[in-house]
């Protein structure tokens, strides 16, 4: 079937139409004429794959820079040049805001990634076997088919160097690989690099990691700590870690310098995967804080980075986070950086907001929710407390648009600033500044 691709889909696929029916076409670019094959025909839409590119887009990389980009599926738009990628992300964001929030106002030009390759400071890859050899890789999109990744171009060079060295070490041991937590064996390898130091975490079923192996890993030039997280059967498959993470050797804390701030983390604590762009985001948010806030709240605060960046703009800052380890990290980080006006509490964002607003009014609220966006309780809390300023940080344009539709009952969108955190993928990070509407007299 020959067709022309009309626009981008939110996941980086091309969109075509046939008899008013939407067709999502993986690896196709708007403006291209392609020969496609329908692989799934559903009542409201179809999924297709490209058989031949008849008229390629000038934005298409005719020789993709990764040989496994199609089978791995991790970098869904690596076949598009960088100029095309940032255009795609701006267009997808504008479309989501128009469709879901009825917003057609200004969207600032995207803040580009200074390093479109080699930017990721962390990776989490499942273990597998290929030709009897243990390795790490990805699962092919929509399947359980393991694809070994020999080299990943979006990981930092040091991260990749350590990963490859680890594969050589693993080859010296007869280590079992598990399909799930019910089995003994290795499940996933998690690497994090901060300040040019690499931290290694094994996620596994019930098994012991040989001390000799730990010692060999710590002897690598760039590795400073080794950890293990054992997943029990009662831990959901979608959860990366088990309930606890055990320190096996090396440094007992992950730390990084973030602009003028020092942060400590634990292996389970989340931090943005692109350190340089995280700093750009946090600095942008700091400039949006009103000249002086009495009480500022950051919901979904993680290890407290944003709270530290905005601490000097408020009398009191309180962060809310439901992961206990992250809250411990965040309170330690506030003390470490001399921010006596910053503290963190552990709990559900919406529930803790209800408790806070019962005691005092909030001037400024920052929310950085997961991809699923704000739940009903959190939106109700916002619309009940009505902070003067609201800053919404999002990694999902669709849920951002849907939440903004509800919030616009009381708020006006003032600034929309996208960031390219995740080059070669369809993901886009966005910060939105909202101001409470003036009540009509």
- Which residue among 72, 135, 152, 395 is the active-site one? 395
Question: 3-state secondary structure string, the chain?
Answer: CEEECCEECCCCCEEEEECCEEEEEECCCCCCEEEEEEEEECCCEEEEEEEEEEECCCCECCCCCCCCHHHHCCCCCCCECHHHHHHHHHHHHHHHHHHHHCCCCCCCCCECCCCCCCCECEEEEEEEEECCEEEEEEECCCCCCEEECCCCCCECHHHHHHHHHHHHHHCCCCCCECCCCCCCCEEEEEEEEECCEEEEEEEECCCCCCHHHHHHHHCCCCEEEEEEEECCCCCCCCCCCCCCCEEEEECCCEEEEECCEEEEECCCCCCCCCHHHHHHHHHHHHHHCCCCEEEEEEECCCCCHHHHHHHHHEEEEEEEECCHHHHHHHHHHHHHCCCCCEEEEECCHHHHHHHHHCCCCCCEEEECCCCCCCCHHHHHHHHHHCCCEEEEEECCHHHHHHHHHHHCCCEEEEEEEEECCCCCCCCCEEEEEEEECCCCC
Q: Is 395 a catalytic residue?
A: yes
Q: Which residues are catalytic?
A: 395
């Amino acid at each position: 079937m020959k067709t022309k691709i009309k626009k981008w889909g939110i996941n980086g696929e091309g969109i075509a139409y046939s008899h008013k029916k939407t067709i999502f076409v993986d690896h196709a670019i708007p403006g291209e004429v392609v020969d496609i094959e329908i692989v799934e025909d559903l009542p409201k839409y179809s999924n297709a794959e490209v058989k031949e590119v008849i008229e390629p887009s000038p934005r298409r990389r005719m020789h993709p820079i990764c040989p496994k980009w199609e089978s791995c599926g991790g970098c869904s738009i690596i076949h598009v040049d960088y100029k095309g990628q940032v255009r795609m992300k701006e267009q997808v964001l504008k479309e989501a805001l128009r469709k879901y929030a009825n917003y057609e106002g200004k969207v600032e030009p995207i803040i580009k990634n200074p390093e479109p390759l080699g930017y990721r400071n962390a990776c989490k890859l499942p273990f597998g076997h290929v030709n009897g050899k243990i390795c790490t890789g990805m699962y092919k999109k929509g399947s359980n088919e393991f694809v070994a990744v020999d080299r990943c171009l979006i990981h930092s060079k040091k991260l990749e160097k350590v990963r490859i060295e680890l594969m050589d070490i693993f080859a010296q041991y007869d280590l079992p690989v598990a399909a799930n937590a019910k089995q003994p064996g290795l499940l996933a390898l998690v690497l994090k690099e901060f300040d040019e130091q690499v931290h290694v975490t094994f996620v596994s079923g019930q098994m012991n990691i040989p001390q000799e192996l730990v010692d060999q890993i710590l002897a690598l030039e760039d590795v400073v700590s080794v950890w293990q997280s054992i997943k029990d059967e009662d831990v959901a498959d979608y959860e990366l870690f088990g309930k606890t993470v055990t320190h096996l050797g090396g440094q007992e804390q992950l730390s990084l310098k973030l602009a003028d701030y020092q942060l400590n983390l634990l292996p389970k604590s989340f931090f943005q995967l692109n350190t340089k762009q995280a700093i750009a985001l946090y600095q942008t948010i700091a400039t949006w804080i009103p000249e002086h806030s009495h009480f500022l709240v950051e919901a979904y605060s993680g290890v407290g980075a944003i709270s530290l960046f905005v601490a000097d703009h408020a009398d009191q800052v309180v962060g809310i986070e439901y992961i206990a380890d992250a809250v411990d990290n965040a309170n330690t980080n506030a003390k470490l950086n001399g921010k006596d006006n910053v503290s963190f509490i552990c709990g559900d964002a919406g529930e803790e907001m209800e408790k806070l607003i019962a005691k005092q009014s909030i001037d400024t609220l920052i929310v950085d929710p997961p991809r699923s966006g704000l739940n009903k309780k959190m939106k109700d809390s916002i619309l009940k407390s009505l902070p003067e300023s609201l800053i919404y940080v999002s990694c999902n344009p669709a849920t951002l648009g849907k939440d903004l539709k509800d919030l616009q009952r009381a708020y006006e969108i003032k600034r929309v600033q996208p960031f390219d955190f995740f080059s070669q993928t369809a993901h886009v990070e966005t910060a939105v500044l909202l101001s409470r509407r003036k009540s009509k007299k």
